[in-house]
Structures are given as C-alpha cells and as structure tokens.
Amino acid sequence: MTEHSHTTIVAGCYRCDLNKDEMHAQVTDEFKIGDKIAAAVLSWGKKAALRVGVIDKIHPPTRSISETRFTIRDEDGHPHIVSAARSVHVERDEHHTMEELYEYRMVYNAYAAMYFDTMHAKGVKSWLHADGQPPFGEPLGTWFIVGVLTPEGWATNHYKGEHWDLFHVEEHPRGPEWDGHTPAQALERLKNFLPTLG
C-alpha cells in the first residue's frame, strides 16, 4: 500500500458491545508491536487520509480518552498517533498484496477517468482542491485530486504527485467542489453510472 492511499477504512466503534477495558483486550489480541497497519486519520479540514506504519507503542484507554490508540512510525521514521478503531493490518488476501490492489485500483481509475472523459462524462484532475488548497495541507505537487462527474455527482480520489501523468484527463486549476460524498458514496455513484455507458 502506498503511504497515503485513500480508501474506506473501518470506522466507528471497534466493538460497541464491549466496555473500554474489554475493547482494549480485543485490540491487543489482534494487534502487536511491530505489526504493519494502515489507519484512517482526519485532517483539520475533516478529510480522511491514510497513514501506514509499524506499531511502535499501544496506548490503553484513559479517563479522558476512551479508545485504544497506537503510535506508528511511517517509512521515514515519523511518529503518528492513530485510533485502533480505524486501523487495519497491511497484509495479503489470497492472491494479492494490499500494495498490488491499491496500484490496480489506481490504474483502473486512470482508465475509467480517461474513458469517461472521451464519452463527454467529464473527467478532471487538479493539484488543488476547490478551495485553492493543496490536498491534505501538504506541499503543492505532493498529491492531486481526480474527479469523474456522474449523474449523481462527483466521484473523487487522491493520488501521489508521481502518478500525475497516468491520468489523461483535462487539467483544471482547481478540483471539483466537494459535495460531502464519502468514499463509499463515490463508489456507489460509479457503480450506478456504469450501466448507462453500455
């Protein structure tokens, strides 16, 4: 998995039927120091990003923080504190690594955006969000946004700057206005759009 791939990650309660001590025990049964995980985190702009790293420390719940958290270190050695409730192991399915699956998703997204653009369905890419800010508050050129306009609204994804040339769609000064859609809603929009293109 690339450093900050953007996918739907487990959210909400880890196990809502358990108290915080039972939840912590459940977490420590599943996650160990040294495990490589991916965790969804929210930026100040309330947009989700993905942090990938190795668990360096497990923090039990406290009086003021009711959930288990991890300190993870990314590939550059930088620490990040993340929620156990929004973490998954970076591991294999029966056939592919998560890195391979992410790269497949990106390439298929590039094909789809280009195809939709030739069908006058509008595919765009931009280095900036609609508010004029670079994605995730990182330096310009680190990330870009790709959007496909469906009848139900935009479906957008973010990719690292090194993959800019993979997406043969119209470049815009700013990305599409975010309408509040979640990754799951973007996926549903694309699925609903597909039968209309045949």
150 and 114 share a domain?
Answer: yes
Which residues are bridge partners to 157 per DSSP? 146
pLDDT tens string 188-198: 998 898 888 76
Q: Is residue 14 domain-resident?
A: no
- How many domains does the chain divide into? 2
Domain end among 69, 89, 109: 89
104 and 82 share a domain?
Answer: no
61 and 110 share a domain?
Answer: no
30 and 74 share a domain?
Answer: yes
Q: Is residue 10 domain-resident?
A: no
67 and 143 share a domain?
Answer: no
Q: Is residue 167 domain-resident?
A: yes
Q: Is residue 127 domain-resident?
A: yes
Please identify which residue in the block is written with the tokens 């399915």.
Answer: 93
Contact between 84 and 70 under an 8 Å Cβ cutoff? The reply is yes
107 and 79 share a domain?
Answer: no
pLDDT tens string 18-66: 566 777 787 887 788 888 888 877 655 555 677 888 899 999 888 878 7
CA dihedral 25, 31, 33, 37 (to 10 degrees): -150
Tell me whether residue 21 is exposed, middle or buried, using C-beta atoms within 10 angstroms of its C-beta: 0 to 12, 13 to 18, 19 or more.
exposed
127 and 43 share a domain?
Answer: no
CA distances from 32 to 26, 29, 165 (A): 11, 8, 39
**Angstrom distance (rounded) from CA 119 to CA 35:** 45
**Angstrom distance (rounded) from CA 32 to CA 35:** 6
The kind and range of the H/E element at 36 are: strand 36-42
Q: Is residue 166 domain-resident?
A: yes
Answering whether pTM is above 0.75, one says no
**Angstrom distance (rounded) from CA 87 to CA 156:** 22
pLDDT tens string 75-104: 778 888 888 877 877 765 556 666 777 788
Q: Which of 110, 102, 89, 95 is nearest to 166 (CA)?
A: 110
Contact between 50 and 2 under an 8 Å Cβ cutoff? The reply is no
Domain end among 42, 58, 89: 89
pLDDT band at 2 (very low <50, low <70, confident <90, very high): very low
Provide the pLDDT for residue 129: 95
154 and 79 share a domain?
Answer: no
Q: What angle do CA 106, 107, 108 make, to 5 degrees?
A: 95
136 and 109 share a domain?
Answer: yes
Contacts of 185 (CB under 8 A, 6+ apart): none
Q: Is residue 79 domain-resident?
A: yes
78 and 111 share a domain?
Answer: no
Domain that holds residue 83: 20-89
171 and 105 share a domain?
Answer: yes
Largest CA distance in the chain: 56
The sign of the dihedral angle between the CA atoms of 73, 78, 79, 83 is: negative
